[in-house]
Amino acid sequence: MVLRRNHYEAAFENYLRTSRIPYVAVDEKRRALAQNASIKSLDFIVYAKEGPNLLIDVKGRTEIYPDQINRRRWENWATIEDIQGLQQWQELFGEGFISSFVFAYQLPPDSISNNLEKLFAYKGSLYAFYLVKIDEYRLKMRPRSHSWQTVFLHQQDFHEMRQPVDAIIQS
């Protein structure tokens, strides 16, 4: 188990451990070199029971909604460097591996999602984990901020693409 300061990654790793899913935690302190170029680190290599193994970058987000009347909004942005790094890892690992984001949402105690989502409790907080494959994300991503080099998915696209992580990993 890698010592993690990011509670989203720590919660996801705890989910993997308690679910007895085989994985390798990547030490993010060092960047990998491939063909003399630096590649942004991924967070986990997860071995699925069936289907492809997963190269995962965890993106921690807090569920956001302006008030209880409006529909909730799930942040799903990433940087261009995140996208490029996951693409490179997928190419390096080759057939049998798929790069994916796991969006780890920390849900507030009064969240309306607490009754709707498959949740995981970790250190007094509730989390929902959703997986989006990098190839699908790339097809629908839109610029969010040119200065910050970030992209995102429209809510409808995200809801269509996202899959509860346990449905993918434990299938």
Q: Provide the percentage of residues in the chain whose pLDDT is more than 70.
A: 81
Average pLDDT over residues 12-38: 81
Domain boundaries, the chain: 7-169
Note the pLDDT of residue 115: 63
Q: Which fold has domain 7-169?
A: Trna Endonuclease; Chain: A, domain 1 (3.40.1350)
Note the pLDDT of residue 145: 95
91-121 pLDDT tens trace: 999 999 999 999 999 987 776 665 666 889 9
pLDDT band at 171 (very low <50, low <70, confident <90, very high): low
SS3 assignment for the chain: CCCCCCHHHHHHHHHHHHCCCCEEECCCCCCEEECCEEECCCCEEECCCCCCEEEEEEEEEECECCCCCCCCECCCCEEHHHHHHHHHHHHHHCCCEEEEEEEEEEECCCCHHHHCCCCEEECCEEEEEEEEEHHHHHHHCEEEECCCCEEECCHHHHHHHCEEHHHHHCC
126-160 pLDDT tens trace: 999 999 999 999 999 999 999 999 999 999 999 99
Q: Provide the percentage of residues in the chain whose pLDDT is more than 90.
A: 62
42-81 pLDDT tens trace: 999 999 878 799 999 999 988 765 555 555 568 899 999 9
**Residue 41 clears pLDDT 80, i.e. is over it:** yes
